Structure 1
Amino acid sequence: MTIARSQLISLDVTPYYHCVSRCVRRSFLCGEDSVTGKSYEHRRDWLESRILKLATIYCIDICAYAVMTNHYHLVAHVNRSKAESLSTFEVIERWQQEHHLPWLIQRFVKRQLSCKAEIKRCHQIIQQWRERLYSLSWMMKELNFNIALQANREDHCTGHFWEGRFKSYALLDEAALLAAMTYTDLNPVRAKIAETPETSQYTSLKKRLDALEEHQPTPHGLYPFIGDRHPEQPAGIPFRLSDYIEWVDFTGRQLRQDKCGYISQDQPAILTRLSLSQTKALELVTHLERRRKRWIGSPGHLLLAKQRLNKKRIDGLAI
């Protein structure tokens, strides 16, 4: 029996959801068609770029994703409080990045309205946009529509590209969140597309590891890892990134009867496999998660900051 989407996604129950969309046609979402020999690999970039872009517009945080040959996984955190804290003009600014503003709203932005009825109507429209900015269904619809439009145009055809609406699974606790994220990031390994998580292209974990090369704790568009929660902490995934990386590596080594792929026991531990710059950056991230400091930098920069602030000592973390 079909269950209403409003019952599957209830923010009063949990803000975390695991979503899956699958391609309906034989022509692949991505990958290479073994019959025709045509490659659709470039579509992975379409989807990854689209996911990360929408994450900057919608108040929906991306915890994990994986783009496969005929489907993709998305683990999301619906940030309703963030959407409700946006100002009227912040809502308009976000919405117009993907949509054309009605003439009435354009006049509202230019402060050209004087009629109370028109102003009231504008606020009603903007409130509707605000609610859509934290609607998982709305974001998924826009994500899938854009990819289907590009794929149909490239394939010179019309019709459905996706297998109905996306499937969603509510993640009710931290254990469920960890399981869904791990399952998502290990998808290419389980499918024998990649040998290790760090070589799994178009996954959130690969994106995070690449960001470590640039000494960025969190890549643009992804929800950060924050470790243990406490009142002064910013919002984020309630695990440490270093712990998560090791957990994914450990889980990927376990053999599963229903999956053909796994991480070989001959592979060294993942923290050993990472490059020096990744290891150094991960060490910094781990320190940040465990020890919240107001001042972070090299010993020289910490000394300079202390002198400029005319302080004998500062609460700093040397890197």
Structure 2
Amino acid sequence: MTSARRQLIDANATPFYHVINRCVRRAFLCGEDKLTGRSYEHRRGWIVDKIKALSAIFCIDICAYAVMSNHYHLVLKIDVDKAKSLTQKDIISRWCQITKGHVVATKYMNGDDLIDGEVMLLDALLSEWYERLSSISWFMRCLNEEIARKANREDECNGAFWEGRFKSQALLDEQALLACMMYVDLNPIRAGIADSVQSSDFTSIQERVNALNPHINSPQLVKTTADNLQPVLSKALAKFDGSTLLSQQTGIPFHFADYLELIDWTGRAIRLDKKGYIDNQRPKLLNELGISPDAWLTSAKEFRRQYSGISGRWDSMCEFKKQHNSGKWCKGKASSQALHP
């Protein structure tokens, strides 16, 4: 049975979520349709541009993304601190970039006097809009509606463009976040449509590597430049802040140089034709988190299938289900215990 979204997304439990949406029709979301020869590659840019624009409006950061031929993956972070810092005018200004707003909000922004009834209405609107600006559901709604409308206009057709509502996974701890980001960033390599992170078009890892230095050609070279490597990116992409505890972080709780080392090592293992993927020394992040290479590689290849709506330590997954009244059964006990020794 389908669970209510409020049972699956709770910023108090974790700010990190993996979301997926898939196209319903045979026609491609993007890429090239080999049957008709028509290219939809430009639609990838639609999605990347839109998620960055929405991130600037919503209190939601993008940790990772990958736009594939008929679906896309996002790893999102609800920025609770940013939401708490919003003033009333910030809330109205941001929300009016998405919708037409309300005449009472316009009067308030213009400095006009409001009667008692209008003040009460404005308070209700502000409370509603404030909640929505931190809502992954509203973020996805704004993203999917615009892409669907543009695609339908281009295809000269009507009807549903997406398979259904987006699927989400709560990422409860560092291991789950790291495994999910790696799964998303390596999607094109795993699918065989790219042979390196540099050639993985429309992915967050390609954007991060390209932002470091246009002259750097491999993650191995990037790793040697600095321990606290931080690419210059758009504000939409969350930064790596170096902490390995979710409770102490303001961005992604790892050093970017360590992440690059791990993604290079993992990508070589996934691509069996890539020489040099087997070595005796595990990447630094695997040692820090105590993850075995075998469990890690399995997770990097099968993360989406290993779990349902939650990923993390087994006891945390069960507690999440209990607190949100979403049943007692959890998928992924063996996978969780392998990733959390």
- TM-score interval for Structure 1 and Structure 2 normalised by the shorter chain: 0.7 to 0.9
Please name the residue that 1:137 is paired with.
Answer: 137
Amino acid at match of 1:114: L
Structure 2 CA distance for partners of 1:263 and 1:94, relative to 1, 3 Å? farther
What one-letter code is carried by the residue in structure 2 that aligns with 1:13?
Answer: A
Superposition pairs of residues 1-319 of structure 1, within 5 angstroms: 1-213=1-213, 216-228=231-243, 235-255=250-270, 264-265=274-275
**How far apart are residue 85 of structure 1 and its match?**
1.9
**Could you say if the C-alpha distance between residues 262 and 200 of structure 1 is closer, same or farther in structure 2, counting changes exceeding 3 Å?**
farther
Q: What letter corresponds to residue 56 of structure 2 in structure 1?
A: T
CA distance in 1, matches of 2:205, 2:263: 9
2:294 paired residue number: none
Which whole-Å CA distance do the structure 1 matches of 2:255 and 2:190 have between them? 24
Once residues 162 and 48 of structure 2 are traced to their aligned partners in structure 1, the CA distance between those partners, rounded to angstroms, is: 17
Query: Counterpart of 2:138 in 1: which secondary structure?
Result: helix
RMSD (Å) for aligned C-alpha atoms: 2.2
Q: What is the SS of the residue equivalent to 2:114?
A: coil
Shift of 1:217: 3.2
| Letter of the structure 1 residue corresponding to residue 154 of structure 2 | E
- Aligned-residue offset at 1:266: 5.8
| Overall identity of the aligned pairs, in % | 48
SS in 2 for 1:63: strand
What TM-score comes out, normalization by structure 2 length? 0.73
Q: What are the superposed Cα offsets for residues 16-70 of structure 1, whole Å, 9 maximum, x if unpaired?
A: 1100000000000001001000000000000011111111111011100000000
Q: Structure 2 CA distance, aligned partners of 1:262 and 1:51? A: 33
Q: Does the CA-based 8 Å contact 1:190-1:262 persist in structure 2? A: no
Structure 1 residues 202-211 or 80-89, which shifts more? Answer: 80-89
Q: 1:102 offset after TM fit, Å?
A: 1.6
Query: Kindly tell me: are residues 176 and 263 of structure 1, through their superposed partners in 2, closer, same or farther at Cα, counting changes over 3 Å?
Result: farther
Distance 1:43 1:117, change over 3 A: same
In structure 1, distance between residues paired with 2:235 and 2:115: 41
d(CA) in 2 for partners of 1:216, 1:65: 16
Aligned residues: 263
Partners of 1:94 and 1:200 lie apart in 2 by: 32
Q: Which amino acid aligns with 1:74?
A: L
Partners of 1:84 and 1:130 within 8 A in 2: no
**Is 1:189–1:263's contact at 8 Å kept on the other side of the alignment?**
no
Instruction: Confirm or deny: 8 A CA contact 1:252 1:263 kept in the other structure.
Output: no
Structure 2 gap ranges (5+) = 215-229, 280-341
Q: Secondary structure at the match of 2:198?
A: helix
Matched-pair contact (CA < 8 Å) for 2:243–2:249: no
Secondary structure of the corresponding residue to residue 157 of structure 2: coil
Q: CA deviation at 1:113?
A: 2.5
Kept in 1, the 8 Å contact 2:17–2:168? The answer is: yes
CA, structure 1 residues 44+103, in 2 after alignment: closer, same or farther (shift >3 Å)? same
Change (3 A) 1:16 1:248: same
For 1:52 and 1:210, the matched residues in 2 are separated by: 17
2:61–2:77 CA contact under 8 A, matched in 1: yes
In the alignment, the residues of structure 2 paired with residue 62 and residue 114 of structure 1 have an alpha-carbon distance, to the nearest angstrom, of 38
